[in-house]
Amino acid sequence: MTSTTVTPRAATGTAARSRHRRLSPGRILLNVFLTATALAWLFPVLWAAYNSFRDYDYTSEHGYVSLGGFTLQNYLHAWEQGEFTRHFLNSLYITVPAVLITLFIASCVAFVVARFSFRFNLVLLGVFTAANLLPQQALLIPLFRLYREVPLPLWMSDSGQLLDSYWGLILINTAFQTGFCTFVLSNYMKALPHEMFEAARVDGAGVPTQFFRITLPLCRPALAALATLQVTWIYNEFYWATVLMQSGDKFPITSSLTNLRGQFFTDYNLLSAGSVVIAIPVLIIFFVLQKQFVAGLTLGSTKG
Amino acid sequence: MSDLPTVPVAAKAPTRRRRRHVQATGTDRIFLALMVIVPTALVVGLVWLPAVATVVLSFASWTGVGSLDTIKWIGTQNYVDVFTIYPPFKPALTHNVIWLVFLFMVPTCLGIFLAVLLDRELRATRFYQTAFFLPVVLSLALIGFIWQLIYSRDQGLLNAVLHTQIDWYGDSRWNLWAVLVAAGWKHAGYIMLLYLAGLKGVDPSLREAAAVDGASPVRTFFSVVLPVMKPINIIIIVVTVIEALRAFDIVWVINKGTNGLELISTLVTANVVGEASRIGFGSALATIMLVISLVFITIFLSTVMRGERR
């Protein structure tokens, strides 16, 4: 958030005024309040991180509110017992294709909606956007049955059906997330200068050229922001994997938490280490790509 | 976060958009048709058709095994059963309502309040925003895990500090509230982010005018800023309602939605993937969720798409 969103304000001169304001008691109070709240907000994560580095025997003897007993063993054990290599790979197999397909098909629909005036444009946009907001449980029953009926060759899915396969999860995640991306991208594409497309048309560029050579490259900022957001969301996706996967070894990392809970139940240092490891990918996104992430969430408000 | 879209905050109508009827050539036409048909087929086939099928199945009695011929149509009997002879429904509904009210009263208001505070030039604003925003990127399932370290009966921090012996996740007198605090931890950051983005879009001259007229900051917020933010307010209301309706991950990770943590979403799931799969009955529960969500989705769409029409 930050630089981009703050700039317009600074230009108006309000910022200049407040920057030179002296530190009034009210302002100090405000900062104290915000600092205290911010630290309280960070606390649960810091607490988990802190205890993940501590020895179980030490904490069970001295209690958790203590200092000392530092070790890295928890991470090794959590990784092994939680079979994290396998679950991380599962998350990768599902997240990467799902994000790529989602962005591609959302770009397709958004392009048509933004560049051509068909009567069904608004309906189409509504159908896509609303799909993203439905409660997953409302689709579960028929979808579950449907997934059991659709056969897949064994080289695609060792269950021989869409249920309990990576393909099934990629499909449903894609179907669910496309609406959101379509909405954002259509707004973004509508704001692109249409003269460029006219010029391209005069030069004889067909629809494929307009789409692949002109629109997609111009949408790179929006696509980057959406990709960041979608990677986080699909990595964090819990429901579909929980109900549509059946063999424990195929669960992506987030859904494997249900099983891990039993294994880590007695050792909270192990549980802390496991939580930290699972949080690391999204925390990296959070710290490195925070701007992209926030831009993705608020894109529609600035472009339009 | 689950995957609530939030973007379309105050989507403004583009000022110069003139769409043309294009004389597309044959190849172009096929290409355009594919661009719409393939994605639409996916979304309609995997989202909308199942949603419709859920409504249809809610009037049936079916075990889910065997072919479609074994379906018996029983009218509205499932709905009658839901409301009369299904003990977990009332607590689940109550919990969903409590969830909603709590999200509104505490994290949503807190998020708005924090956004208003952060919407000035503070030196450490980057740090504050990062802190409040951090839980938003974590999944609710993981949040349930992380808070376990605070809530556990024997090893949790809360009991160590309070010198109590309460199983915060297990004791049905407390667990809903414990879970709500953890879920609210994420929700407040989310609302803060949305609202802050909206506030940045408010014309500063409005506030300056109010200040010149001698209005206090509180008065300015309620009389000037809040009315201007109407589209964003509606979006936040809808996001909160849908978030409360879709709540699932955190309670499923804790105890699969039992013993004080029943929610409609967990009942639907348990009726389908559990041992006794009662398709018709689960569908009736799911249909209730669907209807509630569609009301709010309609409000949402009409808010964000205003200005698209021409």
User: What pLDDT does B52 receive?
Assistant: 95
Residue A202 CB neighbour total at 10 angstroms: 8
The lowest-confidence range among A116-125, B104-113, B141-150, B227-236 is A116-125
Q: Which of B54, B130, B205 sits opposite A139 (nearest CB)?
A: B54
Which range has the top average pLDDT, B22-31, B87-96, B215-224, B234-243? B87-96
A21 falls in which pLDDT band (50, 70, 90)? Answer: low
Give me the residues paired with residue B61 across strands.
Answer: B72
> d(Cα B285, Cα A301) in Å, to the nearest integer?
36
CB within 8 Å: A293 and B152: no
Find, in chain A, the residue whose alpha carbon is nearest to that of B310: A122
pLDDT at residue A172 tops 90: yes
Q: Which of A45, A184, A301 sits opposite B197 (nearest CB)?
A: A301
CB within 8 Å: A125 and B305: yes
Domains of chain B: 77-309 (1.10.3720.10)
pLDDT at residue B66 tops 80: no
CB within 8 Å: B14 and A294: no
CB within 8 Å: B148 and A271: yes
User: In angstroms, what separates the C-alpha of B111 from chain A's closest C-alpha?
Assistant: 12
User: What pLDDT does A300 receive?
Assistant: 46
Size of interface A-B (CB pairs under 8 A): 368
DSSP per-residue letters across chain B: ------TTTTPPPPSS---B-----HHHHHHHHHHHHHHHHHHIIIIIHHHHHHHHHTTEE--S-S-GGG-EE-TTHHHHHHHHS-TTHHHHHHHHHHHHHHHIIIIIHHHHHHHHHHSS--TTHHHHHHHHHGGGGS-HHHHHHHHHHHH-TTT-HHHHHHT----TTT-TTTHHHHHHHHHHHHHHHHHHHHHHHHHHTS-HHHHHHHHHTT--HHHHIIIIIHHHTHHHHHHHHHHHHHHHHH--HHHHHHHSS-TT---HHHHHHHHHHSSS--HHHHHHHHHHHHHHHHHHHHHHHHHHTTTT--
A304 falls in which pLDDT band (50, 70, 90)? Answer: very low
The DSSP element (H or E) to which A119 belongs, if any, is none
Interface test with B, best of A119, A261, A286, A301 (most B CBs within 10 A): A301
Tell me if B1 sits within 8 A of B136, measured CB to CB.
Answer: yes
Find, in chain B, the residue whose alpha carbon is nearest to that of A29: B117
Which range has the top average pLDDT, B13-27, B181-195, B260-274? B181-195
Contacts of B217 (CB under 8 A, 6+ apart): none
Place of tokens 């958790």: A64
B10: left (phi over 0), alpha (psi -120 to 50) or beta: left
Assigned token pair, B262: 């029943």
Q: Mean pLDDT over residues A20-44, rounded? A: 86
Find, in chain A, the residue whose alpha carbon is nearest to that of B10: A301
The lowest-confidence range among A23-37, B11-25, B114-128, B203-217 is B11-25
User: What would the pLDDT profile of A128-158 be if each residue is shown by its tens digit?
Assistant: 888 888 999 999 989 988 898 888 888 888 8
Tell me if B260 sits within 8 A of B173, measured CB to CB.
Answer: yes
ipTM associated with this complex: 0.85
B contacts of A176 (beta carbons < 8 Å): 3, 46-47
